[in-house]
Chain A
Amino acid sequence: MWTAFLFAAIIAGTPLLFATLGELITEKSGNLNLGVEGMMLMGAIMGFSVGIWTGNPIMAMIGALLAGAAGALIFAVLTVSLRANQVVTGLALTIFGTGFASFMGKNFVGKVTPPAIKSFFHAFEIPFLSDIPYLGPILFKHDVFVYFGYLVILIASLYLYKTRRGLNLRAVGENAAAADASGINVTLYKYVHIIIGGALCGLGGAYLSLVTIPVWQEGVTSGRGWIAVALVIFASWNPTKAMLGAFLFGGLDILGFRLQSQGIQVSQYLIDMLPYVATVVVLILSTRNNKKEDRPPQDLGVPYYREER
C-alpha cells in the first residue's frame, strides 16, 4: 500500500521535478520566468509531434528540449537584452505557449505515440539498486525518463555548488553588477541558464505527453507549471530540496485518490489545497528563520543595466 503510493508519487512528481529545476536554474541567474506552463506545453506538443514524425524517443526528447529552449530564448531576448518587465513577459509566454500547443496539436488530437516510443518508456528495474529494501521498489522500478530526472538533479547540484561556473551563476543572480565587475559575462550567463531552464521545463511537459498520457489531448499540463513556480520557493532555491519537494507535491496530488479508494473520507477540495498551504507555511518559516541560504537570489526580477551601475 505504502510502496504503491510512494511509487505513484514519484511518477506524479517527475514532470514537476523537471519544471521546478528549470525554473530554479532560471531564477539563479536573477530572472523570474513565469512562462513555465507555456514552455511545458511547448515541450509537450513538440516532444509528441517529433515522436509521431520520427518514431524515435530520443529525437522526441530533443524536440521537447529545443521547444522549451526556444520559448525561453524569446523570454531571454525580451528580458535580458531588451530589459522588458519579467513578470509581464513570463505571463505572455504562458499564454503564447498554451496557444502554440493548441494550434500545433490540432492535427494530433487522439493520435497515439508509436510503439517504439512506448516500449522505450516502459518501466524497468535497475539491477541491485531495486533490491534495496524499502527504497528500491519505490525509486528504481521506473521508466528511463524518471532515472534521467535523478541524474539531472545530481548534475545540477554539483554544477551549482561545486563548480566555478555555478558560483559565477549564483553571483550573477545575487548581484549582477558585482559579478560584472569581477569579469563575469552577465548577459551570456543569463542567456545560457534561462535557455537551459526552458529546456528542462520543455522536458517536464514532454513527460506528460510522452510517458504519462501517450495520446495527444490539449491542456495536458493543467497548471503544473504554476505549481513548479511555487515549488521553487518551497525548495528555497536548492535543487536537492526541489527534488524532495517535487515528489512531495506529486504525493499530495494523488493522496486524495488513495484515501478515497481506501474508503477514507476526506474532502478532495481540502487535499487539492495542500500544496499551496505547504508553500505558504514554508515561506513563513523561512522568513522567520531568515537563513542566508534560504533567501531568493537578491537580484531576482531586477533587470541589469550596466550603465546604471
Chain B
Amino acid sequence: MKKILAVLLILVLVLGTFTACGGAKEPAKAAEPLTVGFIYVGPIGDGGFTYAHDQGRIYLEDYFKGAVKTIYQESVPETMQDVTNAAKNMIDQGAKVIFTTSFGFMDATEALATQYPDVIFMHFSGFKMNETNFGNYFGAMEEARYLSGIVAGMKTKTNKIGYVAAFPYTELLIGINAFTLGAQSVNKDATVSVVWTNSWFDPAKEKDAATALLDQGCDVLAQHVDTTGPQIAAEERGVWAIGYNSDSSAAAPNAFMTAPVWNHGIYYVAQIQKVIDGTWKPESYYGTMADGYIGLLPLTAVAPEGAQAKVDEIQAKIVAGTFPIFTGPIFDQTGKEVVPAGKSLTREEIWKMDYLVKGVQGSLK
C-alpha cells in the first residue's frame, strides 16, 4: 500500500512538472486560421534569445488578428528526436508553417522538410535550405554591433572595454570585430578584452566573467551572451554596459546604455503574408538595419553626449547601403593585414571570418 502511494506521489511530482512546463498549447479545431508553430531552444523566461523570438511570435499573432494562430514549444533539446517530436506534434495540431529557432535544429529541420513537403519550414541561423519548402533566416547583427561599439568607444575613460562572449565561433567573431571597429572609429586607443564563458545561459557565471573584466580596469562592458549578468556587474561598480537582445534599463538603470536587438516579428509577418498570398518561396534571408530586422535601441540618458547623433549619422549611411561595416584596411591581432585598403567584405566573406581584429585582447581557444 505504502509503496503504491509512493509511486503515485512520484508520478504526481513528475506529471505536475510536465503540465507546469506546459508544452505546446491547446489543440487546433478545424483549421480556419493559419497555424504557425515555433520551436524554441530555451525557455521564454530567459529574457534574452528565446524571449526575443517569442516577442516576434506575439507580434505576428497580433498583426494578423485571428487570421494566424501560433503554437510554440519551449526548451526543446537540440537532438534529432526531440525536434522531430516537437514538429510532428505541431503538424498534428494543424501547423502549416514551422519556425525552428536554433542553429542545432538545422539537420532535423532538413529531414522534416523532406518528410512533410506540405509544411513550410524556416530555420534561424543555419545555412541549409531546399527548393520547395525549407528556407533559412539570419541578420547582419554586425551593423548594430558596430554602432554599439561607437557608443562604448565614446564612453570609456580607461580605454579598456570588456566583452563577455559565449563561444568562440564565426557569429561571435564577427560581432566582436564589428564592435571593436566601431569603438576604434571614434576612439583610436580603445581596446576590447574578450572573456569566453562557454555557456549561453548562466547569469551568475556571466556576472563573474564581467567582474573579472572590471577588476582589470574595464569601464564599459558589452556582451554576446543572453543574460543581464554583465550589466548588473557594471551597475554595482558604477560603470557602464551595453546589453543584448532586450532593454534591460530596469535591471541596470545607471549602467545600461543601449542594446543591439533582433526584431524577429518584422520577418515573421513578411513571411506569413507571403504564405497567405501564396507567393512564398524558400530563401536565405539576411535581414539588415534597412529592413528593420536588426536594430539598436535608443540610447539612454547615461550614454555619452553626442553619441546618439553619431550613431544616427552612421546608421543613416548603413541603411542607405553606403557604409559597409568591414572595409579595409583591417588588421588582425598579429598585425597582419586581412582586408586591404579600399576593399569591403561581402556577406560570404564576412561569414568566413576566423580572426580577431587588432585591438582585441583575447584568444580564440
Q: Which residues of chain A have a CB within 8 Å of any CB of chain B?
A: 1, 4-5, 8, 11-12, 15, 74, 77-78, 81-84, 88-89, 92-93, 95-96, 98-100, 102-103, 105-106, 109-112, 208, 212-220, 222, 224, 253-254, 257-258, 260-263, 265, 267-269, 272
Contact = CB atoms under 8 A, between A and B. Distances in A.
A77 B10 CA distance: 11
Contacts of A112: 250-251
Contacts of A224: 204
B45 A82 contact: no
B46 interface: yes
A250 B138 CA distance: 37
A191 B251 CA distance: 39
Contacts of B45: 102, 105-106, 109, 216-218
Contacts of A95: 13-14, 17
A108 B98 CA distance: 28
Of listed A11, A89, A96, A218, residue having the most chain B CB within 10 A: A218
Contacts of A254: 208-209, 211-212
A180 to B, nearest CB: 18
Given A82-B2, A95-B13, A213-B229, A261 B213 contact: yes
Interface stretch (B114-122, B172-180, B189-197): B189-197
A74 B201 contact: no
Contacts of A77: 9
B309 interface: no
A208 B203 CA distance: 9
B197 A212 contact: no
Contacts of A269: 198
B325 interface: no
Categorize the interface residue count of chain B: 35 or more
Given A83-B6, A265-B363, A217 B47 contact: yes
A95 B18 CA distance: 9
B292 interface: no
A124 B281 CA distance: 61
B3 interface: yes
A214 B46 contact: no
Nearest to A98: B17
Interface string B322-364: 0000000000000000000000000000000000000001110
Contacts of A268: 196-198, 365
A222 B202 contact: yes
Q: Which 7 A-B pairs have the closest CB atoms?
A: A99-B17, A218-B45, A84-B6, A257-B212, A82-B6, A103-B20, A222-B202
A263 B9 contact: no
A99 B15 CA distance: 10
